[in-house]
Structure 1
Amino acid sequence: MKVHSASRVILLTVFLNSVSFGIIIPVLPQLLIELGHINVVEASLWGGGLSFAYAGAAFLFAPIVGNLSDRIGRRPVLLFSIAALAVNYLILGLAPSITWLIAGRILAGISASCHGVAAAWISDTTAKHLRSKAFGAIGAAWGVGFVCGPAIGGMLGSFDLRLPFFIAAIMVCLNFQAAWWALPETLRPEHRSPFRWRRANLIGACHELRHSPQTIIFLCVIICYQLAYNANPQAWSYYAILKFGWTGKEIGFSLMAFGLLVALNAGFLIRPIVRRIGEHRTTCVGLLLGAMGFIGFAFAANQWMLVAFILPWSFLALIMPSLRALLSNALGEERQGALHGAISSAQSLTMMASPLVMSQLFYQFSSPVSPLFFPGAPFLAASALLLLSLGLLHFTGRRQKQFH
């Protein structure tokens, strides 16, 4: 099987994982309100809990799955993750209570571990000088999925809140069939490494990478960046409902705009930008423009201003492909699974912390008893985190212009 054909299956898998993340966003507030008999501000706290469950599972399993893929290969791990995603959708579609929603999101978090394995698959099959472009394609697939996920959730959810999940389950089953027939194994036996439990967690993975101090610094940048980035899916729906009275359909279309711009930046703009200024400076540009976008969200006086700041925010799509390329090029083939598992685990750690922090910020500054009504507080906090990431990158850039 040609690598290019299999690459399409990899991108389809990433796309459907993105759909699974986005499809629930526009329908979740109303689903929580109905299942829990609560108001929208209280639903935002439950939404944070669901995001915590999703991220907690991904945090625990991403390094395990990444190291397992270094031991037994990429193909079986990806097939398992796709199957778990299909079961997750069925659980969400049939959930009779919030408890069942939590169970479904835990399973979704386990299946999300395949993103790191997909990145390792790309590392196996792509020359070093082309990896930022290849990781950009993964980012574009995620962005397109984020277009389709909220759009599917918003439009189908207007007919029935549960219908989007059953449609998504069918799509994932088709993805499993395509992966079964089209996905080859890319990790050659001589490049496989034994599975060790001490490496199968974020701390252990970082310990394995300790000989490259800049790798640890870049992982810290990823953590700060992801803490900020995750403010958007957590707070956007509740913020738009509370401040501008949006419905699920409007939320879905706004998230579709997010996804389209992210896909454009990750899929088309990143290669010429990286070629001109390099991965390090590309990351800095993304952080600066993303911070501007978050500040715009926080202080938006009307819905048109809110929508306009999606454009600078979308340049955050330049960051992860550039950082993944820098990190991937620094390590050997036998450590790619562990590396991308560590990255996925770091991202998942922030997906545990960020929803809890951001939902609490939203609640504290939006509740009727709040001394200061400022529902944009999560976005302002996110901009500060991006500026902190920019400072870390500036520090590493001054110490070493070229990452080895």
Structure 2
Amino acid sequence: MTTRSGKVFNDGKADINMNSPGKNGKAEKSDRIFYIVFASLVLDLLAFTVILPLLPGLLDHYSQNDSSGLYNVLKNSVSGFRSLVGAPDNARWNSVLFGGVIGSLFSLLQFLTSPIIGAASDVYGRRPLMILCMIGIAASYLIWAVSNSFLTFVIARIVGGISKGNVSLSTAIVTDVSSPQKRGKGMALIGVAFSIGFVFGPSIGAGISILNKADDAAVAYMIPALFSLTLALADLIFIYVFLEETLPTNKRLQSKNVLSHAIEYINPVSLFKFSSVKKLSAAESSKVQSLGAIYFIYLFIYSGLEFTLPFLMHDRFSYTSVQQGRMFFFLGFVMALVQGGYTRRISPGKESKIASHGILILMPSFVLMAYASSTWFMYLALTLFSFASATVVPCLTTLISTYGGDNEKGTIMGIFRSLGALARAFGPFWASAVYWSFGPNACYIQGALILLLPMYQIYKQVKAESKRSTFM
């Protein structure tokens, strides 16, 4: 249906017409979509991070009150594995490994579904898939709120992991409506949303745990779940009302057989080769594959050591959940400052160089974490860690978003995010296993050394770009 203004409506919402006259009109539309995506992600990430400071206590609750018996089955399995490999019987280190196994579940499911959601959005549009994701996320919090056993809680995490394709869709939406010059701003806003979520979400969770006076532990943990559910429902309504379709019908893929290609989206070999993307040149395909490998290795190390960080603070400095919340606040605050004041102003073409700086800074950060004997040294390490957190992923995401046609960007971004989810699925388990077997020093030093691999790859890209700019 076409109105006098020339807007083409689809499913009751206007498609973004990027060919409309006037550069100012295009800029206003892209900025509006940027901030809609930003607001949606803030709501989503606040809801998602509320649980972080509560998880240890929540697991303690289920260890004593699990009618399903699943918690004890998993605990016995971990104890059996410890005996098999001869790891030290350290109760705190055991909790690191057990937490790593639980923490990997969510990202593993996100890995399996994210590229399929991205590819489906290339066929059916971004908006309907975004709405479906938000419905699933809200349902996961509802299941958590009514859970009376560890099994029900795990089901809630499963539903949430399957539905967590909204982040890859957000990056695809930013790519749809932005020029190469403005794309970095949109990606930086996504990064700022993550910072806000990780600044205030854990703090809200810690605040709820302090203010909550319920005698029944099950009721006490229901309250943060209901808070997350409220935010998720608000996000769903916000998306339904304000988000316009950003992929016009004439730019969508015609194939409806998305599920028939699912094996390519969950096969790690196919993912690293970006096999589902058919229209890239050989040179472009090589660059995309290199970026995918850099992103995977970086996030594998980063997510693993990030996951063990609260356990390290608890083990070495006896941090409480409130102190953990303050630590997350500090990390997110520094990230927000860097992203808002620095990352969003990075000039096009400089992303590889800035990403290399971020990886380089992260290596001494992990070395400091390994040997820090005071909170002052630890917070110096956390400051360096925050700079890397604020720069590397936004820069790599901006780089990968420049490849592919309009009808394949969703697939590329879905695969890219899926590689990140794969890294986040196995990174925490790897780091937790090393921590559990050899202690925190070996864990963090090993992580710093492995980062030499993506550092070398990104350095080659920076060098190649420097040569091209010299001859231009």
Give the alignment's TM-score, normalised by structure 2: 0.78
Q: How many equivalent pairs are there?
A: 394
Greater mean deviation of Cα atoms: 257-266 or 31-40: 31-40
Deviations 1:151-203 (A, max 9, x none): 11222123344422211110111111111111110101111112433254354
Deviates more, 1:224-233 or 1:53-62: 224-233
Query: Which position in structure 1 is the counterpart of 2:405?
Result: 332
Partner of 1:285: 357
Query: Once the 2 structures are TM-superposed, how far is the Cα of residue 34 of structure 1 from its aligned partner?
Result: 2.5
Kindly state the Cα deviation for residue 288 of structure 1 after the two structures are TM-superposed. 1.0
Structure 1: distance between partners of 2:141 and 2:392: 30
Identity %: 23
The aligned counterpart of 1:244 is 317
8 Å CA contact retained: 1:88, 1:104: yes
After superposing the two structures, state which structure 1 stretch, 181-190 or 259-268, moved more. 259-268
Equivalents in 2 of 1:98, 1:41: separation in Å? 21
- Partner in structure 2 of residue 191 of structure 1: 251
Correspondence for 2:38: 11
Mapped pair 1:149 → 2:201? yes
| Residue 204 of structure 1, CA deviation | 4.0
1:26 and 2:53 aligned: yes
What residue is the counterpart of 1:35 in the other structure? 62
1:303 and 2:350 aligned: no
Q: CA deviation at 1:249?
A: 0.6
Q: Within 1, Cα distance between the matches of 2:347 and 2:40? A: 28
CA distance in 1, matches of 2:225, 2:332: 19
For residues 200 and 382 of structure 1, do their structure 2 counterparts lie closer, same or farther at Cα, with a shift above 3 Å needed? same
Structure 2 gaps of 5+ residues are: 1-13, 15-28, 65-74, 76-90, 213-219
Let me know the Cα RMSD of the aligned residues. 2.2
Report the counterpart of residue 457 of structure 2 in structure 1: 392
**Rounded Cα–Cα distance in structure 2 between residues aligned with 1:40 and 1:76:** 45
Q: Which runs of 4+ in 1 moved over 6 A?
A: none
Aligned AA (1:174): A
Partners of 2:352 and 2:118 lie apart in 1 by: 25
The offset of 1:399, in angstroms, is 4.3
Indicate conservation of the 8 Å contact 1:292/1:313, yes or no.
Answer: no
Q: TM-score, normalised by structure 1?
A: 0.91
* Structure 2 residue 164 is the aligned partner of structure 1 residue 91: no
Task: Give a deviation string over 1:254-291, Cα, whole Å, max 9, x none.
Answer: 0111111112222321133x229811101011111122
Residues 1:220 and 1:251: Cα distance change in structure 2 (over 3 Å): same
Q: Deviations over 1:330-377 (max 9, x none)?
A: 222111100110111001101111111111122223xxxxxxxx3244
Change (3 A) 1:267 1:164: same
Task: State the alpha-carbon separation in 1 of the partners of residues 143 and 453 from structure 2.
Answer: 39
Counterpart Cα distance in 1 of 2:241 and 2:171? 20
Task: Report the residue type matching 1:318 in the other structure.
Answer: T
Q: Distance in 1 between matches of 2:108 and 2:435?
A: 21
With over 3 angstroms needed to count, the CA separation of the structure-2 counterparts of 1:90 and 1:44, relative to structure 1, is farther
Q: 1:130 to 1:5 in 2, by over 3 A?
A: closer
Rg larger for: 2
2:230 to 160, 170, 179: 170
How many Å separate the matches in 1 of 2:167 and 2:155? 20
Say whether 1:208 aligns with 2:260. Answer: no
Report the equivalent of 1:179: 239
